[in-house]
Amino acid sequence: MTAIQVLHPDRVPTTGFLCVPGRLDFQQLLHLEKQFSGRRITYLIEENDQHDPALRGHMEKSGSGAMFSSTDKNPASAGKEFAAFLEGNGIILFVPGRAATRPATPIHAPSGHLKTLTAFGLPTLPIAIDCPRESCLGIERVSSLPAAVIAFGKPIPAKDSGLPALQANLLEAFAEAYATREILKGSLATALLHGLKNNPNDRIVDGADDVVLSYAKILPIAIALSKHIRAETDKPRVAIVLPPGKGGLIANLAVLFAGKIPVNLNFTASHNAIRSSIRQADVDRFITADPFVRKVPAFPWPPNRDLIFIERVIPEIKKEIVKWGVISKLLPASILATILGLNKRRGDDEAILLFTSGSSGEPKGVPLTHRNVLANVTQFATRLNMGRDASLLGCLPLFHSFGCTVTLWYPVIEGINLVTYPSPLETKRLAELISLHQVDVLLATPTFLRGYMKRIDPAQLESLKLIVTGAEKLPQSLADAFEEKFGIRPMEGYGLTETSPATNVNLPAPHETSGSHTLAAQRDGSVGQLLPGIAIKLVDPATDKPVALDKPGIIVLKGPNIFPGYLRDETRTKEVLSADGWFRTGDVGFLDADGFLHIQGRISRFSKIAGEMVPHETIESAINQVLGLDAETERKIAIVGIPDEAKGEAIVLLSTIAGPTLEQECIDLRYKLLDHGLTSLWCPRIIVPVEEIPLLASGKLDIKSCQQLAGG
């Protein structure tokens, strides 16, 4: 394996340019010099940056250097002076200083440095550098990985120079470098097998009955069950109707080991949504358990002949389990994977099938490939960076993309102890499990976090080092209240089923290194920085034209974790996925100078009125404030847009507190909102009284039902 790989050397301009790498160590610098062989290089450093001694010494020996200040009040003037170094095809090479960052961080330089560099007004060449050996999974052989992948970005002309353009270009080049990782060509089933084999003493604790199973015991059970599944059906997919726990874990492993595709069904959805999912997935076998069938009698269960009751089958295949227990101990993972045929499906083949929540219509089938899932596991692992004895609480449903990737595949592959419980709502029991097993990481939604606020002793959550929320916006008031009570601040993340799912996360600051910049890792009001390997661009909601990253626009993402398209739905796939892999999320937001993504809302939660994009969530927030409503405990209002001939759409307020004088209440509310600073265009024209605001099981607003209530 070549120590350093280079991508797109053809992008290096033949004329002079300012070179801005996301990071640069001594060996990478020497390699870049070879790429620029025969051209005069002027090293550029920020006056207060600290560099490794070898790097500093090399630059000083060259005798060709320059310095700038990130606080320069007139960078354009300095840029005119630096332009002389570009004459005769010369290169100015910015050398970033030390920075305290997490592995696989694309940009190591502070935003103040980059703002100044881009204000010089010089043609710029961004360079992304990924170091796979620093951020690989435990199942990868470090020695087989390149020390670095250097990806030249697209040159930025002087007239287009600016921080947003540099950010976008660096992130896209880094995504290209990240996408070359060898593990992305592999098999999810093989990765899971290696994880179980490499970490035999790690375990799953099932909080429903306190049964503890080591990964060494789970492996032969899953293999033996896979043989049974293979004999039961010829269909490529197998449905699973189980909550988080040992049964759900073993069932998912067994389906993958059988060379098939697990489909975890949303048992909280409507009957129509469930039947739609079953029809789309084309499954004829459902793995479940007797107690769960009794617990969820409303589920449209198929005939008994189609059900595989996991607690009945496992005792029947005990001899097979014993046999595979011996074999799995004797054989290395690579040979065992070959015997089981796990490498037949890999890379861009479908690995799992999930369904969207159906918040705005019928559930959409979202096939995720082996590449998608392995990419997101790798991306998330670089950010959690959990130690050997760490443990994770898995209580999010397995049909939830976060519950699937982060609390199912990730802990098994990385050898993390997993503590499970069937429901995220029973916070009293969850707190007991966190305390008893000294859980380090809790993944939840803001809706579920509110349960901890009501009835949990802060001492029970003392072991937690990280709390990540997703699926819905984290109100700052809730984050503040939670931190005040428990001494730990929940960190908001972001993702979608189509992105496998995680794309962004806020994190505690990394441990500071002496003499280094400590780059921001968390910002209130944002969903965090992008995970490594994900590129971003924004488009105007009205014109569909690209906008700068610091201006609001529809978020469009690209990376190895992006799904290949909806299940047998080419029309909807083309609506969100371009031919070159850019995914239109449907969310509106912008990126700040430090790379934090700020979400302003779903495009489905905007109305276009008289040519202006009006955000529903902003209106809801204002109404809650002017009416003094406590949105943290109960949602009492919702904003909906309905068709309007004159202005395109009209704003409708659904309210559980509306009185008998709706017209007068609407007028009074309009005056209060105008005093609050909202424009007249944004004020609701109609109030519709409702008994309750429709919500999905995840706590998110049921947009489709709200529109029906509003008459839209």
Q: Give dist(CA 453, CA 449) in Å, integer.
A: 7
Planar angle of CA 507, 508, 512, nearest 5 degrees? 125
Give the side-chain half-sphere CA count within 13 A for 237: 23
Is residue 85 within 8 A of residue 66, CB to CB? The reply is yes
What is the per-residue pLDDT for 513? 58
- pLDDT tens per residue, range 123-137: 999 999 999 999 999
Question: Token digits for 247?
Answer: 């049964």
Is residue 282 within 8 A of residue 353, CB to CB? The reply is no
Q: Give dist(CA 82, CA 218) in Å, integer.
A: 63
Q: Give dist(CA 217, CA 34) in Å, integer.
A: 52
Q: Which of 311, 310, 312, 288 is nearest to 301 (CA)?
A: 288
Q: What's the domain range around 246? A: 188-505+524-587
> How many independent structural domains does the chain possess?
3
Q: Which residues contact 330 (CB under 8 A, 6 or more apart)?
A: none
- From first CA to last CA, the distance across the chain in angstroms is 59
Is residue 100 within 8 A of residue 519, CB to CB? The reply is yes
Q: Which residues contact 354 (CB under 8 A, 6 or more apart)?
A: 263, 264, 365, 366, 368, 399, 401, 404, 497
Residue 492 pairs in a beta bridge with 469
Mean pLDDT in residue range 143-147: 93
CB atoms within 10 A of CB 282: 13
Q: Which residues contact 279 (CB under 8 A, 6 or more apart)?
A: none
How distant is the alpha carbon of residue 609 from its chain centre? 32
Q: What CATH number is attached to the domain comprising 632?
A: 3.30.300.30
What is the per-residue pLDDT for 429? 96
**195/236 same-domain check:** yes
Handedness of CA 525, 528, 529, 530 (dihedral sign): negative
Q: Give dist(CA 218, CA 223) in Å, integer.
A: 9
Q: Which residue has the tokens 């100078």?
A: 593
When mean pLDDT is compared across 213-222, 370-379, 393-402, 672-681, the lowest value belongs to: 672-681
Is residue 164 within 8 A of residue 536, CB to CB? The reply is no
What is the per-residue pLDDT for 550? 96
The single-letter DSSP state of residue 407 is: I
Q: Which of 512, 466, 473, 507 is nearest to 488 (CA)?
A: 466
Q: Give dist(CA 707, CA 279) in Å, integer.
A: 26
Q: Give dist(CA 554, CA 545) in Å, integer.
A: 10
The answer to whether residue 603 is domain-embedded is no
Percent of the chain at pLDDT > 90 equals: 70
Give the side-chain half-sphere CA count within 13 A for 28: 24
What is the per-residue pLDDT for 712? 61
How distant is the alpha carbon of residue 300 from its chain centre? 32
CB atoms within 10 A of CB 142: 11
Q: Which residue has the tokens 């009040």?
A: 73
What is the per-residue pLDDT for 163? 97
Q: Give dist(CA 633, CA 438) in Å, integer.
A: 28
Query: Do β-strands 65-68 and 517-518 pair in parallel, antiparallel, or remain unpaired?
Result: unpaired
**287/169 same-domain check:** no
Query: Do β-strands 286-288 and 307-309 pair in parallel, antiparallel, or remain unpaired?
Result: parallel
Burial group, residue 579, by CB count within 10 angstroms (0-12, 13-18, 19+):
exposed
The answer to whether residue 604 is domain-embedded is no
**383/475 same-domain check:** yes
Q: Which of 194, 191, 193, 192 is nearest to 182 (CA)?
A: 191
**683/660 same-domain check:** yes
What is the per-residue pLDDT for 611? 67
The single-letter DSSP state of residue 698 is: T
- Look up residue 524 and give its amino acid: D
Q: Is the pLDDT of residue 644 over 80?
A: no
**292/356 same-domain check:** yes
What is the per-residue pLDDT for 587? 92
Last residue of a domain, one of 180, 215, 249: 180
Q: Give dist(CA 349, CA 347) in Å, integer.
A: 6
DSSP H helical ranges for 6-125:
26-35, 53-62, 75-82, 111-119
Last residue of a domain, one of 127, 156, 180: 180
Measured between alpha carbons, how far is residue 598 from residues 71, 524, 576, 699 in Å?
26, 9, 20, 21
Q: Which of 129, 141, 189, 136 is nearest to 6 (CA)?
A: 129
The answer to whether residue 594 is domain-embedded is no
What is the per-residue pLDDT for 699? 66
Q: Which of 171, 123, 92, 95 is nearest to 13 (CA)?
A: 123
- pLDDT tens per residue, range 253-273: 999 999 999 999 999 888 888
- Three-state secondary-structure class, residue 367: strand
Last residue of a domain, one of 133, 149, 180: 180
Query: What number of residues does the chain have?
Result: 712
Q: Is the pLDDT of residue 113 over 90?
A: yes
The answer to whether residue 519 is domain-embedded is no
The answer to whether residue 513 is domain-embedded is no
**173/192 same-domain check:** no
Q: Give dist(CA 303, CA 15) in Å, integer.
A: 72
**429/479 same-domain check:** yes
The answer to whether residue 460 is domain-embedded is yes
Average pLDDT of the chain to the nearest whole number = 92
How distant is the alpha carbon of residue 358 from its chain centre? 19
Q: Give dist(CA 40, CA 86) in Å, integer.
A: 9
Question: Token digits for 466?
Answer: 């990280």
Q: Give dist(CA 274, CA 701) in Å, integer.
A: 19
**14/55 same-domain check:** yes
- Three-state secondary-structure class, residue 229: helix
What SS3 string covers 594-654?
CCEEEEEEEHHHEEEECCEEEEHHHHHHHHHHHHCCCCCCCCCEEEEEEEECCCEEEEEEE
When mean pLDDT is compared across 67-81, 507-521, 575-589, the lowest value belongs to: 507-521
**113/228 same-domain check:** no
Q: Is the pLDDT of residue 226 over 60?
A: yes
**114/222 same-domain check:** no
Q: Is the pLDDT of residue 601 over 90?
A: no
Q: What CATH number is attached to the domain comprising 396?
A: 3.40.50.12780
**154/198 same-domain check:** no
pTM comes to 0.90
Helical (H) or strand (E) element with 665: helix 662-676
- pLDDT tens per residue, range 173-191: 999 999 999 999 999 999 9
Handedness of CA 113, 115, 117, 120 (dihedral sign): negative
- pLDDT tens per residue, range 429-471: 999 999 999 999 999 988 889 889 988 999 999 999 999 998 7
- pLDDT tens per residue, range 467-507: 999 878 888 889 999 999 999 999 999 999 999 999 999 99
The pLDDT confidence band at residue 515, using thresholds 50, 70 and 90, is low
**329/423 same-domain check:** yes
- pLDDT tens per residue, range 52-80: 999 989 988 887 889 999 999 999 999 99
What is the per-residue pLDDT for 248? 97
Q: Which of 503, 502, 559 is nearest to 530 (CA)?
A: 503
Q: Rg of the chain's alpha carbons, rounded to an integer?
A: 27
Is residue 489 within 8 A of residue 389, CB to CB? The reply is no
Is residue 529 within 8 A of residue 502, CB to CB? The reply is no
What is the per-residue pLDDT for 512? 61
Q: Which residue has the tokens 């005093």?
A: 675
